[in-house]
Amino acid sequence: MRHRNKGRTLGRNTSHRVALFRNLCRAIITYESIKTTVPKAKEIRPIIEKLVTLAKNAALLTDQIDGKPEAEGKQLRAKALHLRRLAMAKLGPMHGTGIYAKDGTPEEDVTKDTVLKKLFTVLGPRFKTRPGGYTRILKLHTRRLGDAGEQALIEFLKEGEVKVKATENIAPAPVVAE
């Protein structure tokens, strides 16, 4: 029985699984959309949502700094720094990895940007007003070559975009008796 054993092991030991999740988180932050297997996408979603929530809360704190006395502003900056350090701990020692384009070359306009910087300057402010649900998982109909694993696309929602909800069940039309 698997009582109190949440999560999938994905056929890996703990350290390998943690490294996999960190790499997937960095890839999602960098490219904002990645293709992976369905179980990996479902496992990575809560982790990336918590990271974006940290960035969102830091953005909200930095917005409150304007117009505050210096002592209060200092406290708010310290809280925002704490949230940034929590995200650094979650992303692991490679949190300073650069942002790269899809072809593997560093992006020109953001050569000094890192994954952590993009999380806190782009993604956090994007979702400031959103209460949660920053990602979407779309199942792909193609199977992975080799093991025929189900594939999925996990991506961030765009600015101001809302998730499409399933339509409500509409009662069927009454049958006309002849």
Give per-residue pLDDT as tens, 41-51: 999 999 999 99
| Residues of the domain holding 68 | 15-33+43-133
Residue 5 lies in a domain: no
Q: Dump pLDDT digits (tens) for 121-147.
A: 999 999 999 999 999 999 999 998 999
In a domain, residue 142? The reply is no
What average pLDDT is seen over the chain?
89
Q: What is the mean pLDDT of residues 90-105?
A: 76
Give one DSSP letter per residue of the chain, joined into a string: --TT--S--TT--HHHHHHHHHHHHHHHHHHSEEEEEHHHHHHHHHHHHHHHHHHHHHHHHHHHHTTS-HHHHHHHHHHHHHHHHHHHHHH-TTTTPBPB-TTSSBPSTTTT-BHHHHIIIIIHHHTTT--S--EEEEEEEEEPTTT--EEEEEEEPPTT--PPPPPPPPPPPPPPP-
Q: Is residue 10 part of a domain?
A: no
Domain membership flag for residue 88 = yes
Q: Is pTM, for the whole model, over 0.85?
A: no
State residue 171's pLDDT score: 79
pLDDT at res. 108: 59
d(CA 137, CA 152): 6
Half-sphere exposure of 74 (CA within 13 A, CB side): 3
CA 118 from chain centre, in angstroms, equals: 12
26 is a domain residue: yes
Domain-located, residue 125:
yes
d(CA 48, CA 26): 9
List the single range of 6-20, 69-83, 151-165 with lowest mean pLDDT: 151-165
Cβ atoms of 91 and 25 within 8 Å: the answer is yes
Give the CATH number of the domain where residue 126 resides: 3.90.1030
Asked if residue 160 belongs to a domain, the reply is no
171 in a structural domain: no
Per the structure, the count of domains in the chain is 1
- pLDDT more than 70, % of the chain: 92
How far is CA 130 from each of CA 28, 49, 68, 84, rounded to the nearest angstrom? 19, 12, 25, 19
Tell me the pLDDT tens digit for each residue of 15-70: 999 999 999 999 999 999 999 999 999 999 999 999 999 999 999 999 999 888 99
